[in-house]
């Protein structure tokens, strides 16, 4: 696989991370987090929002690193290998959580929610593939 293809995939993934971060701002309202969390103890509610913010910032930073550090993510360095592997494992874990942990019995129903879930899971799988390919490229395995 050529370095140019890997770079384009990383750049597109970076842009997609930024878009994901922006679009994620509607998730709390769409899933009615405020209503769902109101019965929690204040500390647990604050922790939930803190974790959500950390995830949002991490995803946004993945985008920034991918957009502005595209060349560095394919330079065969230890850091390039490590960052690509970290991002790939991060998204792979998210895919596994989606399919094997989440209880969807009370998930919102309807076409818009189904399409949203399909789009998000597709994006998560795409991120896993892109950064896995980048890792394999940096290892000179492809």
Q: In this predicted model, what pLDDT tens digit does every residue of 45-90 receive, in sequence order?
A: 999 999 999 999 999 999 999 999 999 999 999 999 999 999 999 9
The answer on pLDDT for 118 being more than 90 is yes
Average pLDDT over residues 15-34: 94
Q: What is the mean pLDDT of the chain?
A: 95
pLDDT confidence of residue 33? 93
Domain that holds residue 119: 3-138
pLDDT at position 99:
92
**Which band of pLDDT confidence, cut at 50, 70 and 90, is reported for residue 107?**
confident
Q: Using the CB atoms, write b or e for 102-140: b if 16+ within 10 Å.
A: eeeeeeeeeeeeeebeeebeebbeebbebbbbbbbbbee
pLDDT band for position 18 (50/70/90)? very high
Determine the Cα–Cα distance for residues 34 and 55; give it in Å rounded to an integer. 18
Helices (runs of H) and strands (runs of E) counted in the chain: 6, 0
Total structural domains within the chain: 1
C-beta separation of 136 from 106 below 8 A: no
pLDDT score for 90: 98
How confident is residue 106, by pLDDT bands cut at 50, 70 and 90?
Answer: confident
| 125 or 142: which leads in pLDDT | 125
Percent of the chain at pLDDT exceeding 70: 100
């Amino acid at each position: 696989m050529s370095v140019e293809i890997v770079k384009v995939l990383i750049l597109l993934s970076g842009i997609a991370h930024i878009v994901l971060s922006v679009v994620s701002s509607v998730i709390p309202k769409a899933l009615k987090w405020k209503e769902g969390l109101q019965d929690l103890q204040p500390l647990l509610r604050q922790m939930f929002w803190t974790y959500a913010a950390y995830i949002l910032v991490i995803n946004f930073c993945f985008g920034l690193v991918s957009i502005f550090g595209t060349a560095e993510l394919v330079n065969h360095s230890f850091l390039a290998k490590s960052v690509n592997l970290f991002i790939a494992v991060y998204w792979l874990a998210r895919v596994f959580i989606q399919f094997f942990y989440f209880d969807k019995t009370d998930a919102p129903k309807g076409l818009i929610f189904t399409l949203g879930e399909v789009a998000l899971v597709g994006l998560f799988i795409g991120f896993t593939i892109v950064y896995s390919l980048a890792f394999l490229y940096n290892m000179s395995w492809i």
